């Protein structure tokens, strides 16, 4: 980290003075260093930086050698179309921690070919390649995914096949994990809570007080997928599996991009995701991707500003305090300080680090007060969050936690009553002759109005096949990844209801069996056992397993993302202070 800081400062000085180390007199015709001139340059820069001539001279030679190599790479690319890529390898795969790893390749080849070469050259298995925060698709060419000459490509190791059996290796394969997470949350995004939540769990988007939000269905699906991948990634971060965590977090970032800007500006989830991605970069020692890290932190800061308001007034109005959310700003300022240091801007790094230390002093809870709250029966998380919210006031924290218990119980009671009412309304529609599945979905579309739901069901039974299978509806199902023929069949069977068609395809893994292809009955008065069974057995064992897997990673506490112990942050603060205190502040 110190080497990167020094090189950034020297590059700034060289740029200011328009010194080109790759040209004479600093580089000779045979590409060897012009030692005398480099020594003179080091002697001139050393006092400015408060460092020894030897240290500055070594850094200048490193910069010069890199520039010469880059020039060679440019010439090779012009003459042969062979590009040079810089690889950001996992720490254990680096042969020399101070030497950068490069690989030459044509850009008109599939990413998979590059993956195979890296796996062979560096003895890595099961890897993913990341460019500017995006996962490169193996089946597409490098140049089709914005890979250019001298691009920095991050190599993520997603499983260690040599340490597990073949069966475990298959289970832990990252690609399979991402697919299972996608399918699990896709199933959950289709559920509306009309069925018994004990047997059919579902997810609901709520505000900061726990009240359900009414969101358009398409946007709700994107949000559930985005937040689901984020929760999975955070779960992996807690287990220090940062490679796998980053893959899931980047997937969440893609799904968030499909949400409306108005929604993203009203919730802090998107900002927290950007912080988590950059925190993974730090853990994986991949902060040489400065541009992507800097832009993500800026997006996080802008989102916090929109969501919480100037001086956090909006947050204060909603929650009554801002203490718990301040840990997010601590991590934001800490990462910004780190990036400033790596860019050679020591002064800015010091200013930001001072803000971090001020927050840290206020947010680390007093051990004695923590112990007293634990004796009262509160959990460690509740005690920590309570003390932060109340500025360390023990009595106020105890009252706040007790009030939160009561608020949570009241909210759960209201939710139970809402579900009971919903189930009763579904039963009323079933008594009219509709299947339970159709009744539940119609009631969801009618926002709980039984009369409107009945009208929807009657209209659906009279919908012509041509209206049911409109091109727009087919396109919606194709966008979700289903094939055209099953999509059209599902729409006919569901009377043109896209949500019902989606669930039907998910229940049958996207392939409709021949017995489902027969024309659907148009009678709305049938209440035969078969229709009821279809409504109650829509969840297959495989779907239940997928749902249970993803639900395991979702915290049951709504403020889990705020419960940072600050242990990792404390270590990074100490590291930065050590580097910044080595000598006088020098920013170039």
pLDDT of residue 462: 56
Residue with the larger pLDDT of the pair 41 and 182: 41
What's the length of the chain?
A: 588
Q: Give the residue-averaged pLDDT of 404-419.
A: 85
Residues of the domain holding 254: 173-364+559-579
Q: In what order do the strands lie in the sheet with 127-131?
A: 101-106, 82-88, 152-157, 127-131, 134-135
| Mean per-residue pLDDT, 94-120 | 86
Residue 497 lies in a domain: no
Who has greater pLDDT, 480 or 16? 16
| Dihedral (Cα; 168, 170, 174, 179), 10-degree rounding | -120
Count of the separate structural domains present in the chain: 2
pLDDT at position 535: 36
Distance CA 8, CA 344 (A): 5
DSSP 228-284: HHHHHHHHHHHTT-HHHHHHHHHHHHHHHTTS-HHHHTT-SHHHHHHHHHHHHHHHT
Is the domain of 440 the same as that of 565? no
**Tokens describing residue 360:** 């840290």
The pLDDT score that the predictor gives to residue 171 is 42
Cα maximum dimension of the chain: 96
Q: Are residues 345 and 443 in the same domain?
A: no
Same domain, 238 and 322: yes
pLDDT tens per residue, range 382-396? 999 999 889 899 999
- In a domain, residue 17? The reply is no
Classify residue 344: in a domain, yes or no. Answer: yes
In a domain? residue 61: no
Token pair 């069901």 is at which residue?
Answer: 457
82-88 and 152-157 strand pairing: parallel
Distance CA 469, CA 12 (A): 62
User: Around Cβ 537, how many Cβ atoms within 10 Å?
Assistant: 10
Same domain, 273 and 188: yes
pLDDT (0 to 100) of residue 524: 34
**pLDDT score at 205:** 59
Does the pLDDT at position 410 exceed 80?
yes
The pLDDT assigned to 411 comes to 81
Per the rule left: phi > 0, alpha: psi between -120 and 50, beta: everything else, 586 is beta
Same domain, 189 and 320: yes
Has residue 303 been placed in a domain? yes
If asked whether residues 442 and 360 sit together in one domain, one would say no
Angle between the N-to-C axes of helices 53-80 and 2-16, in degrees from 0 to 180, rounded to the nearest 10: 70
CATH number assigned to the domain comprising residue 571: 1.25.40.10
User: Which of 455, 470, 490 represents a domain boundary (last residue)?
Assistant: 455
Question: 571 with 447, same domain?
Answer: no
Residue 147 covered by a domain:
no
Asked whether residue 434 is assigned to any structural domain, the reply reads yes
pLDDT value of position 434? 82
Q: What pLDDT is stored for residue 73 in this prediction?
A: 87
Answer whether residue 270 is part of any domain. Answer: yes
**What is the tens place of the pLDDT at every residue in 336-378?**
999 999 999 999 999 999 999 999 999 998 999 999 999 999 9
Cis-peptide into 161, omega within 30 deg: no
Tens of pLDDT, residues 190-237: 665 555 555 565 565 555 555 555 666 667 777 878 888 898 899 899
Q: How far apart are the first and last CA of the chain?
A: 17
């Amino acid at each position: 980290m110190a080497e990167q800081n020094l090189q950034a400062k020297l590059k700034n000085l060289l740029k200011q003075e328009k010194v080109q180390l790759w040209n004479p007199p600093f580089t000779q015709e045979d590409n060897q260093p012009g030692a005398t001139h480099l020594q003179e340059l080091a002697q001139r820069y050393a006092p400015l930086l408060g460092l020894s001539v030897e240290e500055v001279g070594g850094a200048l030679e490193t910069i010069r050698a890199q520039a010469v190599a880059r020039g060679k790479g440019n010439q090779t690319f012009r003459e042969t179309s062979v590009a040079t890529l810089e690889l950001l390898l996992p720490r254990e795969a680096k042969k020399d921690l101070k030497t950068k790893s490069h690989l030459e390749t044509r850009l008109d080849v599939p990413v998979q070919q590059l993956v195979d070469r890296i796996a062979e050259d560096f003895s890595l298995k099961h890897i993913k390649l990341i460019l500017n925060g995006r996962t490169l698709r193996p089946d597409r060419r490098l140049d089709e995914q914005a890979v250019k000459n001298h691009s920095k490509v991050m190599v993520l190791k997603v499983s260690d096949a040599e340490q597990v059996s073949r069966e475990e290796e298959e289970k832990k394969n990252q690609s399979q994990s991402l697919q299972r997470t996608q399918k699990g949350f896709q199933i959950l995004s289709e559920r509306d809570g009309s069925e018994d939540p004990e047997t059919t769990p579902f997810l609901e988007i709520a505000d900061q007080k726990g009240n359900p939000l009414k969101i358009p269905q398409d946007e709700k699906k994107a949000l559930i997928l985005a937040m689901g991948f984020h929760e999975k990634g955070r779960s992996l971060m807690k287990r220090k599996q940062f490679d796998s965590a980053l893959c899931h977090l980047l997937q969440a970032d893609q799904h968030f991009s499909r949400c409306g800007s108005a929604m993203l500006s009203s919730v802090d989830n998107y900002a927290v995701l950007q912080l988590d991605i950059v925190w993974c970069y730090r853990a994986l020692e991949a902060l040489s991707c400065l541009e992507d890290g800097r832009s993500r932190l800026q997006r996080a800061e802008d989102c916090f500003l929109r969501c919480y308001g100037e001086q956090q007034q909006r947050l204060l109005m909603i929650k009554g305090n801002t203490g718990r959310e301040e840990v997010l700003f601590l991590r934001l300022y800490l990462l910004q300080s780190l990036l400033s240091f790596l860019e050679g801007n020591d002064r800015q790094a010091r200013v930001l680090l001072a803000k971090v230390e001020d927050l840290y002093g206020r947010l680390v809870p007093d051990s004695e007060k923590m112990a007293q709250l634990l004796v009262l029966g509160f959990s460690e998380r509740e005690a920590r969050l309570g003390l932060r919210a109340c500025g360390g006031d023990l009595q106020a924290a105890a009252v706040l936690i007790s009030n939160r218990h009561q608020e949570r119980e009241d909210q759960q009671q209201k939710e139970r009553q809402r579900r009971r009412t919903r189930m009763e309304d579904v039963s009323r529609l079933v008594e009219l002759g509709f299947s339970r599945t159709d009744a539940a979905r119609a009631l969801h579309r009618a926002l709980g109005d039984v009369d409107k739901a009945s009208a929807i069901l009657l209209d659906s039974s009279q919908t012509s096949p041509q209206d049911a299978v409109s091109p727009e509806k087919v396109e919606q199902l194709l966008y979700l990844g289903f094939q055209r023929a099953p999509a059209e069949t599902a729409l006919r069977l569901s009377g043109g209801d896209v949500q019902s068609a989606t669930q039907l395809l998910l229940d049958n893994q996207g392939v409709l069996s021949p017995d489902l292809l027969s024309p659907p009955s148009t009678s709305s008065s049938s209440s035969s056992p078969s229709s009821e069974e279809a409504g109650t057995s829509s969840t297959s064992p495989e779907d239940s397993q997928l749902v249970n897997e993803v639900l395991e990673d979702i915290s049951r506490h709504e403020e889990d993302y705020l419960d940072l112990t600050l242990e990792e942050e404390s270590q990074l603060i100490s590291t930065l202070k050590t580097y910044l205190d080595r000598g006088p502040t020098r920013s170039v």
